[in-house]
Amino acid sequence: MKESSGTILVVDDDAVARQLLADALRKDGYDVEIAGGGADAIALGLAKRFDVVLTDIKMGEVDGFTVLREFRQRSPETAIVLLTAFGSMDGAVEAIKQGAYDYLAKPFKKEDIRLVVRRSLEHSRLVRENARIREELRERHGSPLIGSSPAILEVYKLVARVSPGKSTVLLEGESGTGKELVARAIHANSPRRDRAFVPVNCAALTETLLESELFGHEKGAFTGAVATKRGLFETADQGTLFLDEIGDIGPALQVKLLRVIQEQEVRHVGGTAPVKVDVRIVAATNRDLAQMVRDGKFREDLYYRLNVVRIVLPPLRDRREDIPMLAHHFLQKVCSANNPTIRGFVPETMALLERYHWPGNVRELENVIERTVSLAHGPLIMPDDLPETVRKAETAMAGGNESLLSLDEVEKRHLNRVLRETDGNKVRAAKILGIDRRTLYRMAERFGIDLGEGDE
Ligand SMILES: Nc1ncnc2c1ncn2[C@@H]1O[C@H](COP(=O)(O)OP(=O)(O)OP(=O)(O)O)[C@@H](O)[C@H]1O
Ligand SMILES: [Mg+2]
């Protein structure tokens, strides 16, 4: 059992019990230390890193719960398993609540202990791996944009290329794909970074209000205009004006906006003298502006003025490889604020996150992580902690709008899918499918699927 090696600490004030347990585990190839009480265990924990601690609950002056608390605090990647006396389930429930990984009721069978230890080791490994990813994230200084898919790298490149200049940028993409974040990144990387970044949501205001907000107004220009007011173009002078939801502005304002962009000067509503402004414009929309132009709903000349550089933000489902990084990023963000004890995700949870179709894109992912963290209780987020919509994604996908399939066809498609996801690794595929390798070969033959050479 060489491959299963891990470091284990056995804590029990009963010398015979701890020796028996330690011997059994050593025989399985683990590196085992023993402690005769809670105080010794905590001291050993300071000197050495343990993957798993198996500790009795009732012990002299320092009990198993204290050991649990100390290790949870100092060494969160250590999985703690509490050994409870026969019949005392109360202690077990309390232990799990306080963050124990598992419990075993005494007397236990060798097989039970083996299983629990294997699972605990795997758990500890996962927590460490999750911590490593978070560490990597922390080292990625600078950009608030997370992701390393080819699609998002293309976006980074464009941001880097357009930032230094003054050209107008049009950002297109579905809701929640990061358009505003990119707009801010462009500003932050431009020579205008020390000046204002002024966001305007063009969909939030009525046409007249938006006009006076953007261009300002003279005193008495309309009822309620009790004083002269500068517009947002002036506020953004030498900075960046972010026109969000640009597809929502009406025809009259489209004309005025076009003129301001061409002439680089604004006129207050009710005023006559033009005011010079030096403003860089970044516009965003989740609509198809080109189509709106074809439909006669958006002025073509304004479209060309805005569309000097176009950056399209890809939907999250088209760059699923970014999901783990983003999920860890948001986890880190909410955890430091609310729940510092959550360390990461089990692979099944991440697989569900990667599978879901994310109609609300990155914003939806962020919301899901936030909600999940507030409900989760263990150090790792489990599939059950996820909202039902995400958990059920797979069935939604399989159901889809396809016609009803025969069992054979479902089996065949599923087999193909698992082989794809395991890169054709037969051992892993068989494991996922819950069948042995011979059955896998038989199925493949039946469906005419080529499993390729070799044992891998
Ligand atoms: N690549 C990314 N890295 C980190 N966070 C991101 C990324 N993309 C988006 N986000 C986050 O997702 C949320 C939504 O992003 P943003 O508001 O920029 O989307 P949007 O495209 O402007 O959406 P809408 O069209 O609905 O206004 C924000 O909290 C943002 O910080
Ligand atoms: Mg937005």
Residue with tokens 């007397």, as numbered in its chain: 107
pLDDT digits (tens, 9 = 90+) for 110-153: 888 999 999 999 888 888 887 777 666 666 545 678 888 889 88
Distance CA 151, CA 158 (A): 11
Structure tokens at 253: 């304002």
Between 11 and 205, residue with greater pLDDT: 11
Structure tokens at 125: 């490994």
Cβ burial, residue 194 (10 Å; 0-12/13-18/19+): exposed
Average pLDDT, the chain: 87
pTM of the model: 0.68
Residue 156 Cα distances to 244, 312, 349, 352, angstroms: 20, 11, 28, 27
Q: What lines the ligand 1 site, CB under 6 Å?
A: 145-147, 173, 175-181, 286, 329, 362-363, 366
Strands 31-35 and 52-56, by their bridges, are unpaired
Between 146 and 400, residue with greater pLDDT: 146
Q: Please check whether residue 234 is in contact with residue 277, taking contact to mean a CB–CB distance below 8 angstroms.
A: yes
Residue with tokens 């516009």, as numbered in its chain: 283
In the chain, the percentage of residues whose pLDDT exceeds 70 is: 91
Task: Name the region of 169 (left: φ>0; alpha: ψ -120 to 50; beta: rest).
Answer: beta
Q: How far is the CA of 172 from the centre of ligand 2 (A)?
A: 10
Residue 3 has pLDDT above 60, yes or no: no
Residue 400 has pLDDT above 70, yes or no: no
In the chain, the percentage of residues whose pLDDT exceeds 90 is: 54
Structure tokens at 47: 């000197």
Instruction: Give pLDDT, residue 138.
Output: 61
What domains are defined for the chain? 2-138 (3.40.50.2300), 150-314 (3.40.50.300), 317-397 (1.10.8.60), 403-447 (1.10.10.60)
Between 261 and 426, residue with greater pLDDT: 261
pLDDT digits (tens, 9 = 90+) for 284-304: 999 999 999 999 999 999 999
The residue whose CA is least distant from atom 6 of ligand 1 is 178
pLDDT digits (tens, 9 = 90+) for 168-225: 999 999 999 999 999 999 999 999 999 999 999 999 888 889 999 999 998 888 877 7
Residue 395 has pLDDT above 50, yes or no: no
DSSP 118-185: HHHHHHHHHHHHHHHHHHHHHHS-S------SHHHHHHHHHHHHHTTS---EEEEE-TTSSHHHHHHH
Q: How far is the CA of 220 from the centre of ligand 2 (A)?
A: 34
Instruction: Give pLDDT, residue 37.
Output: 93
Q: How far is the CA of 180 from the centre of ligand 1 (A)?
A: 6
3-state secondary structure of 41: helix
pLDDT digits (tens, 9 = 90+) for 309-367: 999 999 999 999 999 999 999 998 888 766 667 888 988 899 999 999 999 999 999 99
Q: Please check whether residue 54 is in contact with residue 9, taking contact to mean a CB–CB distance below 8 angstroms.
A: yes
